[in-house]
Structure 1
Amino acid sequence: MDPFTLPLPDGRQTTGLLCFPSKPAHPVKGIPLVVTIHGGTYTASYYDADAAHTISNPAKALGIPVVSLTRPGYAESTALPHLQEGETWNQVHGTYIHELILPAIWKAYGAKSGATSIVLHSHSIGASIGIVVTALHNRNPSTAGYPLSGLVTSGIGAKLMHEPAEHSSSADNKNDSLSQIDTFEPTPGEEAPNVPWPTEVKDAFMLRSTEGLCSPTLLQGTTAKLNHPSSILEPFDIRRQWPKYWKDYAKDITVPHMYGLGSEDGLWKTEKQWIDEYAAAFSKSARMEAAALPLAPHCIELSYLGQAWLARTLGFAAECAVWDVLRREREVKQ
């Protein structure tokens, strides 16, 4: 994939990676511009880790353009101001991506890629941000600066595997990173520290590194290269705030939505009741597909199942784009 830097109207910049395959030789009804939103401690390269683990493989095979976004505050993408009283990470970043980043991406790459609409492909904390973005768009689609026809989420759920321990300490918690998150108290308007996620800890939690769910070569240097510092406010939100408000956004999503959670996810409960509860929250979605993916870890996209999952979700994105065009044509006729 090719790097890009895009200036934003407020003076900041967003960065990431591009993959624009050759346009179809024959006319098609709709083409999605798939915009990926990575999870915590990753960047756009989560979707382009190496030659065997990249969304560009199925994208080129299917002829679907992809923009892999590096979220604000990661790598060369400009960070946002410190959170103020009453703000949460997901809400602020979701609003910013909706109001500034996606309109800029659509203006720069929509026509160039031949796309008719955007479909979001989002993972983990990126999925929670994707839910906020999609809800904001669907509440007022006529005023949004971009067309949105679908949403893919993975690595998120309705119930955390390990609930926050309000009074825990690193001494009585087996994971120092989770303990730090669960005892942290943010100060509005001030910079928050980064939470430590050593590569070996991440690999154990997110890839089940000892259970044979991903390539050994991925663990021999690639995951270390993918590892980036992240603000503690990201997991603080997802563990201690997001569970209280996520359904307020989910209920306003109307576009088709595809959801996958690895059956071996180490962060979210994967039993059927929790998959069903997650799906039920998106009651207005035009189409909701939800499943636990057998023998896949939290980071599905980096696992042995990753290329198959990405191919399936890009096919879903193509369906969303066609549906969107047909829907709008029907509305014009009525």
Structure 2
Amino acid sequence: MLSTATHRFAHGVTSAGAARGMVFTGLRRTSGDTHDVPLIVALHGGGYTSAYFDVPGYSLLDRAAGAGVPVIAVDRPGYGGSTPVPLGDSPYLANAATVDHLIGELWQTHGAGTAGIVLVGHSIGAQVALAIAGGRPRWPLLGLSVSGCLLRHGDGFAETWAAAPGTYLDVSVEEKAELMFGPEWTRRDDMPRASFFANVPVLTAELTGGAGWEKSFRDLAPEITVPVQLRHGRFDPLWGDADDQIPEFVAELESSPWIDAAAVPAAGHAIDYHRVGAAFHAQQLAFALTCAAQTISGP
């Protein structure tokens, strides 16, 4: 029997490591029968909380529950009720070090019966997920499904973000919608308004740290040894030309056993919130279930 409710959780990390003593919050949807399925851990992007994955009508948690797949959506450090961390020169590596320890504990408490963990990451959450995988975690990582993340940002964004004042940047809902969404025909009438409740100010350091992402990714990518799924919205203004960057991205993942990468023609940065969101989630869930099945059945 599937759980019909999403539960908020708070988890204090007790194990030794970078995250010890930290508190993390997020959303959890369980499944009555976890046999042969993965546990999905979802990492949101900048300027959102874990609620990104549970917008009514566009909820990955709802769709995963329908497929019998348990999901934990984590509030990354500094978002929701999760403890902030010093981000330094690389916010992705700083996030990865702490979230890695959190996931290790979540696996011990919520992973029973599942085949292992599939990380889902959007935008900065995708960069964090890739950094975690590149560090080869001790818990059983089965695969990565990432979106809204390539190698290089579009022209002008680095300069704009470098001039942003303060610890957090509070972007208006209108400005944010221009960055997150494709043309009006790519979304239903309730968007972008339906997603506004998930908006929060973005950590400025996560934006300014983007300048070093390409080098970090090229260093991390050869260490990623699990399957990778990449989806990127054709109308995403935050990154450069997908037709050029997707092949480059894939080429760096030389140790991954298989890669499923494609541009999504009718979507912007937040693919989840477009008309194709249901199809996108179905692809993510199919990928996660395939990763679990291959682990169970062998190479």
Q: Does TM-score exceed 0.5, indicating one fold?
A: yes
CA contact (8 A) 2:157 2:238 kept: no
CA shift, 1:197, in A, is: 1.5
Residues 264-322 of structure 1 show CA distances to partners (whole Å, capped at 9, x for unaligned) of 11111344221111111111101111100111110001111111111111111011112
1:181-200 to 2 correspondence within 5 Å?
A: 181-183=161-163, 193-200=167-174
Question: Which entry has the higher C-alpha Rg, 1 or 2?
Answer: 1
RMSD, matched Cα: 1.8
- Counterpart of 1:158 (choices 143, 151, 156) is 151
Instruction: Output aligned runs, 1:179-218, within 5 Å.
Output: 179=160, 181-183=161-163, 193-208=167-182, 210-218=183-191
Q: 1:237 is matched with which residue?
A: 209
CA contact (8 A) 2:148 2:270 kept: yes
In structure 1, what residue type is equivalent to 2:188?
A: S
In structure 2, the residue corresponding to 1:261 is in which secondary structure? strand
The residue identity in structure 1 corresponding to 2:104 is: P
Distance in 1 separating the partners of 2:158 and 2:94: 25
- Between the aligned partners of 2:94 and 2:116, the Cα distance in structure 1 is 24
Q: Superposition pairs for residues 1-334 of structure 1, below 5 Å?
A: 1-9=6-14, 10-23=20-33, 30-50=36-56, 52-80=57-85, 82-84=86-88, 87-98=89-100, 100-111=101-112, 114-137=113-136, 144=138, 146-164=139-157, 179=160, 181-183=161-163, 193-208=167-182, 210-220=183-193, 222-238=194-210, 240-327=211-298
Instruction: Show CA shifts across 1:150-209 (max 9, x none).
Output: 00010011232225565xxxxxxxxxxxx2x13369xxxxxx52123211111011113x
Residue 184 to residue 126, structure 1, CA distance change in 2 (3 Å): same
Displacement of 1:20? 1.3
In structure 1, the residue matched to 2:3 is none
| Structure 2 unmatched ranges of 5 or more | 1-5, 15-19
Alignment-mate amino acid for residue 203 of structure 1: A
| Partners of 2:97 and 2:31 in 1: CA distance | 30
Task: Note the C-alpha offset of 1:18.
Answer: 1.0
C-alpha displacement of 1:68: 0.8
| 2:102 alignment partner AA | I
3-state SS, counterpart of residue 202 of structure 2: coil
Q: Is the 8 A contact 1:72 1:79 kept in 2?
A: yes
Shift of 1:88: 1.3
Is the partner of 1:121 in helix, strand or coil?
strand
- Structure 2 length-normalised TM: 0.91
Structure 1: unaligned runs, 5 residues or longer: 167-178, 186-191
Distance (whole Å) between structure 1 residues aligned to residue 195 and residue 164 of structure 2 = 27
Distance in 1, matches of 2:87 and 2:143, equals 29
1:246 counterpart SS class:
helix
Secondary structure of 1:260's aligned partner: strand
Number of positions where the alignment pairs a residue of Structure 1 with one of Structure 2: 289
Aligned equivalents of 2:164 and 2:286: distance in 1?
41
Identical pairs, percent: 29
Contact persistence 2:38–2:117 (CA under 8 A):
yes
Structure 1 residue 216: Cα displacement: 2.3
Task: Give the TM-score of the pair, scaled to structure 1.
Answer: 0.82
What SS does the corresponding residue of 1:277 show, helix, strand or coil? helix
CA distance in 2, matches of 1:101, 1:271: 32
Mapped to 1, the partners of 2:84 and 2:158 lie a distance apart of: 29
